[in-house]
Structure 1
Amino acid sequence: MLPFTLTMDRPALEDWGSPEDIGATTLEGPIKVAGKLLFGALDAPVFGGLYSATKGKYRVVYPFHEHATLLDGELAITDEASGRTELYGPGDSWIIAKGTAVVWDIRSAKIAKSYLATTADI
């Protein structure tokens, strides 16, 4: 079992650079991203862990299906196809399908999430 709770002791995250380093495009920044893979591997069909980003906006087309839960901060995610924006706070979760174009609007100084992703076609 790999628990993720709002009050958990979290491992140190690794510097992943900017949104461009993870396949996204910065719209307002600069933004720094970090993460820690805790389950699987990036080339495995299923993987997950922790992710953080600093305040700003970026656009990304999801290269995988993701279920995530926000652990810290405030984040608005806009689905570009529908124009729908949802605001998330600690404990809120979402599912984003592979191929979906979204804009992340990180409204707090920093956000952190736990996530589980799969590259498998469904």
Structure 2
Amino acid sequence: MIGKIRTNNFTDKDLFEKIGSLWSKTSDHNIENEVKYGIYHQYESNYRGDYTLTIAAETPVSNEKFVIPNQEYAVFECLQDGHSIGEAWKKIWQLEEEKKLNRKYSLDFEKYYPDGKVEIHIAIL
């Protein structure tokens, strides 16, 4: 595990600064060519509530390990740029609002590949 923060997508005025600062810690660990994870967990309620974001890498960089549970996920693919990822999350929230995505709110994660591909895994019921 590289680090974690507690935040909210809609009420935290420092959201982007916090997330950017957390992701910048990955450069301290020489893991540029490894798979990295943005793990969303400890949800207060739904996507409008507080949550914890943990950053981790496939190769452990500390004694703290994070195990992603084996459960059913809906997977959304995008590219590793802020726009594509943001648009994918907006689509996920829209599908949820339209009752087309039944989220579990246990643990979701973004999987970042070295080639720039990103998969967003959403735990579903």
Same fold (TM over 0.5): no
Higher-helix-fraction structure: 2
Under a length normalisation based on structure 1, what TM-score does the superposition of the two structures give?
0.32
Under a length normalisation based on structure 2, what TM-score does the superposition of the two structures give?
0.31
Higher-strand-fraction structure: 1
